Amino acid sequence: MTDPGTDLAALAADGAAGLVQAMAADVWAAVRDRFAALFGRGRDAAVAELEQARDEVTEDAELADEVRTEWRSRLRRLLKNSPDAATGLRAILDELASENPLGGVSGTIHGGVTGTVVQAHTVHGGVTATSHGGDHIDFGGVFHRPVIGRTVPPPAS
C-alpha cells in the first residue's frame, strides 16, 4: 500500500513543476488563477505571491529551481491540511498536460559537440556517461530500420 504522504508529496512536486513551467506560457493568467483558487480565502494573497514568483523567474531563469522548491512546499502543506485540494490540483495538471503534450517537445543542437549531450524529459538523480572509443550503437534497444555502417568482425578466439 502506498503511503498517502508520499502521494501528496509527489503531487505537490508535479504541481510546482507545472506551475513554474506555466509561468513562461500563454496560459499563465488562467493557471495562476486556478492555483490561487486552491488556497481558498487566501486567494488574493496567493495571486500576488504567484505574480511575484513569475516576475522572479522571468527576470532570472536560474531562480526557477528555488521558486519550484518554494511552491512544492506550499502545495504539500496545502494538500496535507486540505485533502480536497488534491482533486483541484490534479485537474489543473491534467489540463496542462493536454495543452502541452510531451510529443510537442523537441531539441536541436547547432554546431559541434565535443562533450556528452543528454536530452531527456525528466532526470531524477545523476547522469553517468560511459565513454566508448569511436562510434557506438547501443544494441540493447529495438531497431526499427537497418543499421547502416561498417561492421567490425568479432575478435578471433
- Please report the pLDDT score of residue 14 as a whole number: 94
What's the pLDDT tens digit per position in 26-57? Answer: 889 999 999 999 988 888 899 999 999 999 99
What's the pLDDT tens digit per position in 81-121? Answer: 998 999 999 999 998 888 764 445 556 666 777 777 776 66
Nine-digit cell string for 140: 540493447
Q: Is the dihedral of CA 126, 132, 136, 142 positive or negative?
A: negative
Mean of the per-residue pLDDT values of the chain: 80
The conformation of residue 23, written as its DSSP 8-state character, comes to T
> Band of the pLDDT at 131, cuts 50, 70, 90?
low
Alpha helices in 23-129 (DSSP H): 28-38, 43-59, 64-81, 85-99
Percent of the chain with pLDDT over 70: 65
Rounded Cα distance, 12 and 75, in Å: 5
CB 19 within 8 A of CB 12: no
Long-range (24+ apart) CB contacts under 8 A made by 6-11 are 8/76, 8/79, 8/80, 8/86, 9/76, 11/75, 11/79, 11/86, 11/89, 11/90
Q: Is the pLDDT of residue 9 over 80?
A: yes
Nine-digit cell string for 89: 490540483
The conformation of residue 108, written as its DSSP 8-state character, comes to -
Q: Please tell me whether the overall predicted TM-score, pTM, comes out greater than 0.75 for this model.
A: no
Q: Residues near 64 by Cβ (< 8 Å), separated by ≥ 6?
A: 20, 57
Q: Pseudo-torsion of CA 126, 130, 136, 141, nearest 10°? A: -50
